[in-house]
């Protein structure tokens, strides 16, 4: 069986696909990934072929695009998908697509007469009476008086307005008819939810037949850098601060360091796309680049992060308390789940002060929170990618 896995967005959107790719390969399938070229080095490390989708992403080491460049990219994105995915899917038996902007994959599969499967990494992008739609960047919070069903109808209109013409243009070029509801076309009636059922449960509803597989995780065997291991061994467990692919505001590193020092804790600062940097040369702080979270998180006192699905899951699996500083999209949802589960705290502001972070750390560093985080850590499944790979192979067979 030949499988194309396609994803858009940052590494957090592509990394789960690599977890699925490894298990599909274990079961004898031939797999290629169609994703942003940022993850090409990661694909090479794992031996997974990649077809680059679009240019290098904003916020990468290549630099951030201008507003005009970003606007042009958004306009061109559906065409880029149709051109690239159509080529990448040639000779495949199935296309698996992830991400809220994957507008072309189903049409390509339809044209080729092959199986299509949509997957979400969080419940909030799937219509349900139990939660509102996931806010997109720049969205204002919806008034509480608006009913959930109306919010989902507005969300559907938004999909049509943004992608409807481009989707129908791409389909016409393939000899396919127009689509009346872009979101329902992309998601289908039977999407998969690749999120842990403890962290991101899916209450069943009549709107969709959702299959929850558990989170898709790539086992990471990389050793920690020698200097990082030495820092960890030299004192009490530090507090980790990292915001992944979020740019963040300029003062967040200082606020975090001051809050952590107020609790007499050492600091690990992960630079990320925000390019966080140390504020002085005192020995209680260390700056690091991207490292193996699976090896690191079990050795820290708490994790301060943006609330991406991958980081939230990694910290939960490690049994370490969390402080979530959500910025957009699904991150407020994961922040609420961390609070509801009692495994950490969340900041109400996207740019919290040192005082706000210190108050959140009061909760996260409490012994009761640590005990609860350790308890929940034992509940988090690690077999989601294996479950999904078997489901996919069985559906084709």
Burial of 173 (0-12, 13-18, 19+ CB in 10 A): middle
Q: By the 8 A CB rule, do 318 and 294 touch? A: yes
Q: 389 and 360 in one domain?
A: no
Domain range enclosing 240: 226-377
pLDDT of residue 70: 53
- State yes or no: pLDDT of 174 exceeds 50: yes
Higher-confidence residue: 227 or 137? 227
Q: Helix/strand/coil (H, E, C) string of the chain?
A: CEEEEEECCCHHHHHHHHHHHHHHHHCCCEEEEEECHHHHHHHHHHCCCEEECCCCCCCCCCCCCCHHHHHHHHHHHHHHHHHHHHHHCCCCCEEEEECCCCCCHHHHHHHHCCEEEEEECCHHHCCCCCCCCCCCCCCCCCCCCCCHHHHHHHHHHHHHHHHHHHHHHHHHHCCCCCCCCHHHHHHCCCCEECCCCCCCCCCCECCECCEECCCCCCCCCCCCCHHHHHHHHCCCCCEEECCCCCCCCCCHHHHHHHHHHHCCCCEEEECCCCCCCCCCCCCCEEEECCCCHHHHHHHCCEEEECCCHHHHHHHHHHCCCEEECCCCCCHHHHHHHHHHHCCEEECCCCCCCHHHHHHHHHHHCCHHHHHHHHHHHCCCCCCHHHHHHHHHHHHHC
Q: How confident is the model at residue 143 (pLDDT cuts 50, 70, 90)?
A: low
Q: 290 and 240 in one domain?
A: yes
- State yes or no: pLDDT of 154 exceeds 80: yes
With vertex at residue 90, the alpha carbon angle to CA 4 and CA 174, rounded to the nearest 5 degrees, is 110
Q: 389 and 373 in one domain?
A: no
Q: How confident is the model at residue 60 (pLDDT cuts 50, 70, 90)?
A: very low
Mean pLDDT to the nearest integer, 211-218? 96
Mean pLDDT to the nearest integer, 64-82? 70
Q: 340 and 311 in one domain?
A: yes
Q: 239 and 103 in one domain?
A: no
Beta carbons within 8 Å of 139's beta carbon, 6+ residues apart: none
Q: 294 and 387 in one domain?
A: no
Q: 78 and 49 in one domain?
A: yes
Q: 390 and 294 in one domain?
A: no
pLDDT of residue 135: 73
* C-beta atoms surrounding 68 within 10 Å: 8
Q: 213 and 231 in one domain?
A: no
Q: By the 8 A CB rule, do 64 and 58 touch? A: yes
* C-beta atoms surrounding 91 within 10 Å: 11
pLDDT of residue 62: 44
Q: What tokens appear for 108 in the block?
A: 């390509």
pLDDT of residue 122: 94
pLDDT tens digits for range 6-31: 998 778 889 999 999 999 999 999 99
Q: 267 and 323 in one domain?
A: yes
CA separation for the pair 117, 109 (Å, rounded)? 9
* Total domains in the fold of the chain: 2
pLDDT tens digits for range 254-290: 999 999 999 999 999 999 888 999 999 999 999 999 9
Q: By the 8 A CB rule, do 242 and 260 touch? A: no
Could you tell me the CA-to-CA distances from 267 to 205, 239, 325 in Å, in that order?
Answer: 44, 5, 17
CATH code, domain carrying 292: 3.40.50.2000
**% of residues, the chain, pLDDT over 90:** 78
- State yes or no: pLDDT of 397 exceeds 80: no
Q: By the 8 A CB rule, do 332 and 135 touch? A: yes
Q: 279 and 204 in one domain?
A: no
Q: 289 and 388 in one domain?
A: no
Mean pLDDT to the nearest integer, 227-238? 97
Mean pLDDT to the nearest integer, 374-396? 95
Q: By the 8 A CB rule, do 211 and 190 touch? A: yes
CA separation for the pair 38, 62 (Å, rounded)? 10
CA separation for the pair 264, 18 (Å, rounded)? 39
What count of Cα atoms within 13 Å lies in the side-chain half-sphere of residue 70?
Answer: 8
pTM of the predicted model over 0.85 = yes
Beta carbons within 8 Å of 205's beta carbon, 6+ residues apart: 128, 129, 130
């Amino acid at each position: 069986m030949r499988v194309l896995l396609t994803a858009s967005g940052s590494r957090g959107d592509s990394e789960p696909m690599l977890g699925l790719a490894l298990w599909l390969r274990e079961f004898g399938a031939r797999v290629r990934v169609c994703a942003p070229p940022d993850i090409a080095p990661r694909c090479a490390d794992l031996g997974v072929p990649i077809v680059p989708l679009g240019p290098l992403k904003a916020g990468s080491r290549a630099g951030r695009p201008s507003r005009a460049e970003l606007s042009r990219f958004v306009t061109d994105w559906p065409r880029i998908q149709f051109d690239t995915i159509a080529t990448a899917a040639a000779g495949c038996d199935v296309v698996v697509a992830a991400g809220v902007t994957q507008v072309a994959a189903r049409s390509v599969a339809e044209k080729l007469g092959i199986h299509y499967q949509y997957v979400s990494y969080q419940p909030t992008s799937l219509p349900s009476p139990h939660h509102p739609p996931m806010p997109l960047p720049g969205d204002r919070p919806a008034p509480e008086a608006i009913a959930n069903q109306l919010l989902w109808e507005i969300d559907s209109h938004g999909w049509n307005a943004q992608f409807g013409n481009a989707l129908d243009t791409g389909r016409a070029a393939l000899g396919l008819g127009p689509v009346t509801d872009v979101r329902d076309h992309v998601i289908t009636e039977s999407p998969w939810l690749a999120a842990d059922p403890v962290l991101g449960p899916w209450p069943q509803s009549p709107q969709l037949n959702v299959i929850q597989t558990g989170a898709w995780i790539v086992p990471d065997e990389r050793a920690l850098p020698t200097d990082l291991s030495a820092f960890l061994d030299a004192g009490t467990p530090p507090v980790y601060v990292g915001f992944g692919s979020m740019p963040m505001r300029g003062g967040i590193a200082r606020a975090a360091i001051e809050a952590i020092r107020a609790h007499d804790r050492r600091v690990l600062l992960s630079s990320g796309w925000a390019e966080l940097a140390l504020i002085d040369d005192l020995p209680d702080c260390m700056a690091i680049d991207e490292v193996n979270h699976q090896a690191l998180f079990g050795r820290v006192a708490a994790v301060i992060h943006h609330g991406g699905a991958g980081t939230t899951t990694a910290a939960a699996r490690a049994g370490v308390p969390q402080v979530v500083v959500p910025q957009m999209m699904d991150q407020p949802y994961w922040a609420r789940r961390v609070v509801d589960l009692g495994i950490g705290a969340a900041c109400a502001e996207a740019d919290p002060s040192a005082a706000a972070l210190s108050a959140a750390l009061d909760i996260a560093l409490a012994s009761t929170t640590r005990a609860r985080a350790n308890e929940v850590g034992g509940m988090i499944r690690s077999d989601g990618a294996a479950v999904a790979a078997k489901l996919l192979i069985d559906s084709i067979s």
